[in-house]
Amino acid sequence: MSSNWFVSMAYFVAAVVFILGLKAMSSPVTARRGIVWAGFAMVGATVVTFFMPGLHNVGLIVTAIVLGGGVAWWSGKTVKMTDMPQMVAIYNGMGGGAAAAIAAVELVRGAPHDGITATLMALGAIIGAVAFSGSCVAFAKLQGIMKKAIRLKAQNNVNFFLALATFGVGLTVSYSSQASGFEVFLFFALALALGTVLVMPIGGADMPVVISLLNAFTGLAVGFEGFVLGNPALIVAGIVVGASGTLLTQLMAKAMNRPIKNIIFTPLTGAAAEGEGGAIEGSMKEFSALDAASVMRYASKVIIVPGYGMAVAGAQHKVWEMAQLLEEGGVEVVFAIHPVAGRMPGHMNVLLAEAGVPYDKIFDLEEINADFPQADVALVIGANDVVNPVARTDKTSPIYGMPILNVDMAQNVIVVKRGKGAGYSGIENALFYKDNCRMLYGSAQQAIGEVITHVKALEA
Amino acid sequence: MEGFAALYIFMLAAFAGYEVISRVPVILHTPLMSGSNFVHGVVLIGAMVALGHADPEDPMQLVIGFFAVFLGAANAAGGYIVTERMLAMFKSGGRKEGDAK
């Protein structure tokens, strides 16, 4: 009994520290401290669990922790910062899978449960399994293993009936204490299929919101299974994440002006965008690296708008080097980041931080948009849809209404771009045809490299 | 656990989660998503309990339980390391490198 009290007390402390840790993570100054606290709480809670009375299979538990933890630790340590979103997706999926597997163990054990417990167990299992398979699909998409958004005919009907079947089988299985192995298997097969089918048609720019939503799902699943196991630490941590994840998802969806239900039920795909939107007048005008260097060197204010293209090219270090050079020459240089730049909100901030850009030089959409008319140069590197003015002007465009960075209002716009094609979402960009816009073709790495050389030459 | 007590815990935890996050600047959204991803790694403890109470004679329970602990541990470890790496890079221009804490 006393060791049980000890374990419960430790879980209580862990739950408090998790919440404090999350709170600390909400400010850049204390964020680092927050994750370290939460880390200690996790280790503590894990260790005391071994002291729980009546715990068997200790050898297996230790082996599984060492294997799972080891693989994840190693992959997390070595992953590149640009690939971070899919790692978050896959770790999240694993958490969902773990919650579903807990329900599976309970179902196979066939222990009788009352109505509420059986319902929450089934819900947790479904949500967890959906998070698992959905995150695997998200991972495959972001990693480039799965290239196209696959949309079934009558997708929404398929979703609906699959969900109905999953819930039906799930509740039947969890209410009966004598479910056969086949029924349990069928239940999980259906739930996993549901997650796959839900995420499969979602592509491109909507991915960050989906990852965040699946993160909230896993939180809920963990909370529900915590109820089944009678473990308040799981309930508190799971539901806190479920609620905060839902809020975060809403914030992201709002930043993109894409209601969550649209993201899931009417995905934005290249095919839908083709042929829509009015014809764009004008032509693209090319610029050389030397032109770009002199325009920026003699500007008084330059706003750099980095996009995912810059990060893929690994050019953030070069860009920061160029920014520092310009600053030495007395040019004011700041960075403007769209909420969905990169593949998750804030992803671009992480990538710039990695290159050494201080966070007080980086501004959000709302902070910076009023400054563009006063800027001499807006330098767009590898960003496309988030600077496309049709979002303000063309009602027929699929991205109409999405808040954008108003780079077209700057005196000069320089766009660094690999080639002439359309962006990630396949939508033509009216910015490129504007009179004040010049195109600097080439990979970000090489183009900025040349600009740096020319800026240095101007200096001498 | 009492059904209604648990319902209250659900409700209060949901409010806590909502409040804790509501004042987060955009630049921290990704680390925060990753951080909350780490926090639900507490599922590891549930998985340990599930495997720990599984019937040692039933390989089916053991396999699924092992899978649960494996996944839970990966969620916790991966979530931690990725979040920590991201947050370690944030620093402000006003300070020297290294003393950003």
The alpha helices in chain B, defined as continuous H runs, are 3-21, 29-39, 43-52, 59-88
Residues of A within 8 A of B63 (CB-CB) are none
A247, A43, A235, A83: which is closest to B43 by C-alpha? A235
DSSP three-state, residue A417: strand
Q: How far apart are CA A234 and CA B9, in angstroms?
A: 11
Tell me how close the Cα of A58 comes to any Cα of chain B, in angstroms. Answer: 7
Q: Quote ipTM for the complex.
A: 0.89
DSSP A266: S
Residues of B within 8 A of A231 (CB-CB) are 45-46, 49
**Quick check: A222 and B61 CB within 8 A?**
no
In angstroms, what is the C-alpha Rg of chain B? 19
- Establish, for the pair of chains A and B, how many residue pairs have beta carbons separated by less than 8 Å: 394
Residue in chain B closest to A342 (alpha carbons) equals B30
A408, A352, A351, A349: which is closest to A378 by C-alpha? A408
**Phi and psi dihedrals of A143, rounded to 5?**
-80, -10
**Quick check: A19 and B9 CB within 8 A?**
no
Q: How far apart are CA A96 and CA A102, in angstroms?
A: 10
**Phi and psi dihedrals of A332, rounded to 5?**
-85, 120
Locate A131 and state its tokens.
């998070």
Residue in chain B closest to A355 (alpha carbons) equals B89
Report pTM: 0.80
Per residue of chain A (460 residues), what is the pLDDT tens digit? 467 888 999 999 999 999 999 988 888 788 889 999 999 999 999 999 999 888 989 999 999 999 999 999 999 999 888 888 889 999 999 999 999 999 999 998 877 778 888 999 999 999 999 999 999 999 998 888 877 777 777 788 888 899 999 999 998 888 886 777 888 899 999 999 999 999 988 876 678 888 999 999 999 999 999 999 989 899 999 999 999 889 888 877 776 667 777 777 765 544 444 334 445 556 778 888 888 888 898 889 999 999 877 887 788 889 999 999 999 988 999 999 887 777 677 788 888 888 888 888 888 888 898 899 999 999 999 888 888 888 888 877 777 778 889 998 998 899 988 776 655 566 778 888 888 888 888 888 888 999 999 888 887 6
